[in-house]
Amino acid sequence: MAVKNIMSPHPVTVEMDDKLSVAKEIFDNIGFHHLLVVNQDKLCGVVSDRDILRAISPFIGLASEKNRDVATLNRRIHQVMTRKLVTIDPSASIAHAVTLFNQHKVSCLPVVSQDGQVVGIVTWRDVLIELERQIKRKGF
């Protein structure tokens, strides 16, 4: 089976110069863990909810919050994103995706077409969901 059959099409993206507050708001309101970072519609990075949590003050939203804590939300996405991208073609096999996840110790793969267009994102959870579906279908 190909990655295109399990990927999430139309991934949510942020711009390199967006503030961390933008990503935090997206992560707080939507149930996923990765955003693709683009610059002039070209893929240039990935930022995870864990990247954001590491970059902002843990005192945000607490009574002890100070101005310097709030200022951490003004940092830019490009300051915390992963730039070394591991991508996959939509026609690649799920087995190849598993190899890339294990080899590179990443939790998501941007799905990029031959002409360089981002067409989706696949996570290790997408693979596990498909595995569970296959196991149930085959009665294991």
**pLDDT for 118-133, tens place per residue?**
999 999 999 999 999 9
pLDDT in tens, 8-43: 999 999 999 999 999 999 999 998 899 999 998 889
Token pair for residue 33?
A: 């863990």
Residue-averaged pLDDT of the chain: 93
Distance CA 102, CA 32 (A): 21
- Does domain 3-138 bear CATH number 3.30.70.141? no
The Cα–Cα gap between 124 and 36 comes to 16
The answer to whether 89 and 113 are in contact (CB under 8 A) is yes
Domain ranges for the chain: 3-138
Give the pLDDT confidence score for residue 87 in this predicted structure. 97
Q: pTM of the full predicted structure?
A: 0.89
